[in-house]
Amino acid sequence: SYGANESLTCFAPWDHRWHKGLWWSWKYINDVLFWEDHAGDGGEVGESRVVAHEQREAADGCIVVTERLEMRSVQRGTLLLSEDCELRLHPSVPGITGGWALDWRLSSIAETDCLLRATPYPEIAWGGYAGLNFRPTRAMGWGETIVNSAGQTGSAACHGQAARWAAYAGNIDGNEHDSAEAPAQASVAILDHPGNLRHPTDFYAWSVGEDNRGFGFLAASPLMHAPLRLAKGTLLPLRYRVILLDGQPDPAALAQAWAEFAAS
> Looking at residue 193, what DSSP letter applies?
-
CA–CA separation, 59 and 241 (whole Å) = 20
131: pLDDT strictly greater than 80: yes
- Residue 175 has a pLDDT of 64
Q: Which domain holds residue 75?
A: 2-262
pLDDT-derived band at 236, boundaries 50, 70, 90: very high
What is the three-class DSSP state of 57?
Answer: strand
pLDDT digits (tens, 9 = 90+) for 183-234: 889 999 999 999 999 999 999 999 988 777 788 899 999 999 999 999 999 9
Task: Single out the residue of 15, 255, 228 nearest to residue 117, CA to CA.
Answer: 228
- Let me know: does 18 contact 259? Beta carbons within 8 Å: no
Task: Single out the residue of 164, 166, 230, 232 nearest to residue 198, CA to CA.
Answer: 164
Compute the residue count for the chain. Answer: 264
Task: Single out the residue of 140, 147, 135, 157 nearest to residue 212, CA to CA.
Answer: 140
Give all strands of the β-sheet with 32-33 in edge-to-edge order.
32-33, 28-29, 114-117, 228-230
CA–CA separation, 173 and 148 (whole Å) = 25
- Residue 41 has a pLDDT of 62
Task: Single out the residue of 236, 34, 218 nearest to residue 118, CA to CA.
Answer: 34
User: What is the chain's alpha carbon radius of gyration, rounded to the nearest angstrom?
Assistant: 18
Q: What HEC string does 70-104 produce?
A: EEEECCCCCEEEEEEEEEEEECCECCECCCEEEEE
Q: What is the pTM of this model?
A: 0.94
Q: How many domains does the chain have?
A: 1
